Amino acid sequence: MPRLSLMKLTSRERVARCLARRPHDRVPLFDSYWMETESAFVAGIGDERLGCGIESFPKEPRPDRLTLWEYFDFDLMHVGWPDQRLRLVEPTVLEETDEWVLRRDGNEAVLRWWKHKMGTPEHVAFGIDTPEKWARAKPLLTASRNRVRWHEFWPRYRRAKDARRFICFAGVEVIESVKDTLGHEMMCRALIKQPEWLHDVFETYCQFEIDMFRLCEAEGWECDGAFIYGDIAYKNGPFMSPQHYREFVYPCHKRLFDEFHRRGMPVIVHSDGDIRKLIPHFIDAGVDMIQPLEARANMDVRELAPQFGDQLGFCGNIDVTVLTTNDRERIAAELHSKMAAAMPYRGYIYHSDHSIPPGVTLETYRWLLDEVRRFGTYR
Amino acid sequence: MLERIAEAVIGGDEVAAPTLVTQALATELPARDVLYEGLLKGMTEVGRRFRDGEYFIPEVLVAAEAMKAGMAVLKPYLARAGVKPEHTAVIGTVRGDLHDIGKNLVATMLEGAGFEVIDLGVDVSPEKLIAACRDRKADVVGLSALLTTTMPMMEVAIRQMEAELSPRPAVIIGGAPITQEYADKIGADGYGPDAATGAELAKRLCRKR
């Protein structure tokens, strides 16, 4: 029997073992990019098989072309991202300049977006601001086929299957969904002032996410894991107290994650910000791995792995502010210290601590990925 | 009575706060005391709890609502008594950045610390900032940025204020990518790691001037 480190695992096997904190050959790779970085990398690589479009907004996706994930041979990819808007109205452009566009979306939320760069939009107004309006809108939130961009995801799904990558069903957790509908401020106020209403909103979105996952499964997707997106914290901590999390959100998370676990699918949860106070609750709810561990929000895998590494995996934490220096000595120190701390627990996937910013050169980035593969090989 | 007003703010009770303010004024308590020893004292405690991790955003938002409800009752009495905010703060998210949640929290905390707050919103150009500082005779400017790509605009704004405003108002900065080191580097007068600390810092800087 050859040593595992000498065996060549498929990406699917590698990530599955990593998520189960079982021995594997090397640290799996996965990453995200700011739109400007993605465009610059695609232009710099100059390979016509590549198309911009890991994220389709605002450009049209080119599912026939390779993503950077495939080009860099990452181990994990995701499909899904059901449209979770209420579809109260047709999305409309209300105002537009060369720089930004003011849109009313299907939730009747008015948001200002940059046209040529990514980022959180300005929250101008939200249409659902009373329990009565919610009660009228709620029946519209039903699972349906036309909520998934099949034309975009089927080709990627098939290529990922052929390449034996680890495929995640990608969805959105309830805080993110409710924030998109009510806005942060209304959601936070309702936690205290209108708890019954908020319970109903959270429960409705939770059931919708489960129904959409079942629909995708019925369409033929056989996913290996789940990638659940939701920014539930900011630099200084969670948006809500652990008590509020436990009362309102935990039951929804547990129900959603149980749905995946029943099929043997481990769960990766994405949240920016400082989520340390929620980690014990996440573990109870069945989270298998957290991502991306934002360094500037005091998330540090060197502290977290010794504390939680036996119960939880980690994906990310490589500080983008260090990467933008393009200083290989500094980057190596960042990379090595964090990987060395996390690797003994066997549950670590490389990712930056957010998204690769435009200041990171392609040359640095190629070197970084080589270094992850070299240093991240278990011996 | 003043203690009960403060408690109503701390507990986020937007019904009790204006009721108690009305009762306090009816007993001829000075409007200034109702403001400083009641509403603002309550909000100061909310800021402390937020800074120390005992309160989270929801608790701060409902406390601010209670304070504002009390303030609506109190405002005409303050005007009659000639009580004005001691300091003026101009606040905004820098050019190129549309994030407003953190900036809104800081505005709330500044109001709770007794400032008149001129909130310029998001994507604020240095020119707009300077015009507001001139018009409103700002004592302090609060700049927010969430992105590493927009934080350099803070330095641009400070340099432009230095060139065009004499004396330049004190500048405090904050936001996800901001650090004390960065504040020192670009010549800001201070860095607020959170909204409550930012408001305390603004007060300290105004007292020094």
Which token pair is B106?
């800081």
CA nearest B55 in A: which residue? A241
| Annotated domain spans of chain B | 2-81, 87-208
CB of A356 within 8 A of CB of A321?
A: no
- Which of A111, A115, A188, A231 should we substitute to test contact with B (largest number of B Cβ atoms within 10 Å)? A188
- pTM for the whole thing? 0.90
- Strand pairing category for B190-191 and B170-174: parallel
A102 close to B (CB below 8 A): no
A117 close to B (CB below 8 A): yes
The CATH classification number of B87-208 equals 3.40.50.280
Confidence bin at B189 (pLDDT 50/70/90): very high
Residue B9 has pLDDT above 60, yes or no: yes
Residue B184 has pLDDT above 80, yes or no: yes
Which residues in chain B touch residue A189, judged by CB atoms under 8 angstroms apart?
58, 61-62, 65
Residue B46 has pLDDT above 60, yes or no: yes
| Annotated domain spans of chain A | 4-85+128-375, 87-127
Cβ distance B149 to A358 less than 8 Å, yes or no, reads: yes
DSSP, res A120: P
pLDDT given for residue A56 in this prediction: 42
pLDDT given for residue A117 in this prediction: 73
Q: Each residue of A224-256: pLDDT tens digit?
A: 999 999 999 998 899 999 999 999 999 999 999
Confidence bin at A61 (pLDDT 50/70/90): low
Q: Which residue has the tokens 């700002």?
A: B138
pLDDT given for residue A167 in this prediction: 98
DSSP, res A111: E
Q: Which CATH architecture has domain A4-85+128-375?
A: Alpha-Beta Barrel (3.20)
Residue B174 has pLDDT above 50, yes or no: yes
Q: B85: closest CA among B22, B35, B135, B34? A: B35
Nearest to B100 among A123, A238, A240 (CB): A123
What average pLDDT does this structure show over A27-42?
A: 92
CA nearest A238 in B: which residue? B56
Q: Each residue of A262-313: pLDDT tens digit?
A: 999 999 999 999 999 999 999 999 999 999 999 989 999 999 999 999 999 9
Q: What are phi and psi of B140, to 5 degrees?
A: -145, 145
- Quick one: which H or E segment has residue A125? strand A122-125
Residue A317 has pLDDT above 90, yes or no: yes
Confidence bin at A52 (pLDDT 50/70/90): low
Residue B78 has pLDDT above 60, yes or no: yes
User: What is the share, in percent, of chain B residues with pLDDT greater than 70?
Assistant: 100
When mean pLDDT is compared across A64-68, A101-105, A292-296, B70-74, the lowest value belongs to A64-68
Cβ distance B99 to A120 less than 8 Å, yes or no, reads: yes
Q: Each residue of B112-121: pLDDT tens digit?
A: 888 999 999 9
How long, in residues, is chain A?
379
Q: In whole numbers, what is the pLDDT of chain A averaged over residues?
A: 93
Q: How many beta-carbon contacts under 8 Å exist across A and B? A: 76
ipTM of this model?
0.88
In CATH terms, the fold of domain B2-81 is 1.10.1240
